[in-house]
Structure 1
Amino acid sequence: MSFSFAPLTGSKPERYAQLLAQVRALLHDERDRIANAANLSALVYHALPDLNWVGFYFFDGTELVVGPFQGLPACVRIPLDKGVCGAAARTRQTQRVDDVHAFPGHIACDSASRSELVVPLYRGDTLIGVFDLDSPLPARFDADDQHGLEAVAAAFLESIACA
């Protein structure tokens, strides 16, 4: 594997373009979903500031089950009708929440989390899971973060396309 982590520089869109290039290099030629989710979680957790949790929940046919992540221990199972992760999976739309405590049905896995961004992972009509990021800062995520992290999630889905 020829991967080298480099600090991100420039404007926020430029930093996300650099992160996406690092993600693609990291995931290149690997098709295992767990391995890629683990490495991707670590990369994003260490590359982006002000995050306290980055990881995946995978759909088991009934609910979301925690997968590889970085951060404190997490809720193990999330029903599709609960929390920000459930809303992303259910609506097929990225959820960007400035104040998780104001989100109806929020699940407080880590009481330090104040804002959250969750990208649903679908292949066609099939729910794979969600890519979840939490921050201890309110309103940590903006439109640039959303677009950048949706591109990262798409690269993850591409990496496991043949799996």
Structure 2
Amino acid sequence: MSFSTIPLSGSKPERYAQLLEQARALMHGEHDRVANAANLSALVYHALPALNWVGFYFYDGTELVVGPFQGLPACIRIPLDKGVCGAAASTRATQRVADVFAFPGHIACDSASRSELVVPLLRGGELVGVFDLDSPQPDRFDADDQHGLEAIAAAYVQALR
């Protein structure tokens, strides 16, 4: 089966609605967390501008372990008390960071990253992992990005069994 994306158009919320529709179509009937994470990483990485890393970290009961991603090689393990990903996982709240160098405990997996958005993946209140996006552009992510990416993350969790 081949899957081609449709170019996004309209306002930013409209573009995110289109991207969410594409994400849902891509995951339709598939429940494997790795397969869906791999495809979503590629979809989002290629659909949105000014990103240098998009991927998933899965919670193994102790720490976050890198999963499928697009971008340069990444940190393999992240403790819950370190970095933006650890903060999202431990607080169970999305972290939108305009300047990662100003974030206490930031982990520089890619020194080109300047801003970051991390959405925790929660299923029935339990931590599954995080959906992480990095940009080389400072202050890349706004509230529309956050809401759109939270919706995509929620669709990912809904597809899990």
- The residue correspondences of 1:3-152 to structure 2 (distance < 5 A) are 3-152=3-152
> By how many angstroms is 1:125 displaced?
2.6
Q: Aligned equivalents of 2:22 and 2:47: distance in 1? A: 10
Q: Give the number of aligned pairs.
A: 161
Comparing 41-50 with 2-11, which one deviates more in the overlay? 2-11
What stretches of structure 2 of length at least 5 have no aligned partner?
A: none
Aligned equivalents of 1:91 and 1:144: distance in 2? 21
Deviation of 1:22 after TM superposition, in Å, equals: 0.2
Cα distance, 1:3 vs structure 2:
3.4
Residue 130 of structure 2 corresponds to residue 153 of structure 1 = no
C-alpha distance in 1 between matches for 2:57 and 2:67:
5
Q: Could you say what secondary structure the match of 1:54 adopts?
A: strand
Alpha-carbon separation, structure 2, partners of 1:97 and 1:16 = 20
Q: Distance in 1 between matches of 2:74 and 2:4?
A: 29
- In structure 1, stretches of 5+ residues that fail to align are none
Amino acid at match of 1:18: Q
Q: State the percentage of identical aligned residues.
A: 82
Once superposed, what is the RMSD of the aligned Cα atoms? 0.8
Q: CA deviation at 1:126?
A: 1.2
The 3-state SS of whatever aligns with 2:117 is strand
Aligned-pair distance for 1:7? 1.1
Amino acid at match of 1:109: C
Amino acid at match of 1:76: I
Amino acid at match of 1:93: A
Contact 1:116 1:134 in 2 (8 A): yes
Q: Which amino acid aligns with 1:15?
A: R
Cα separation, 2, equivalents of 1:85 and 1:111: 16
The CA distance in 2 between the partners of 1:110 and 1:54, in whole Å, is: 12
TM-score (norm 1): 0.97
Distance in 1 of aligned mates of 2:71 and 2:77: 16
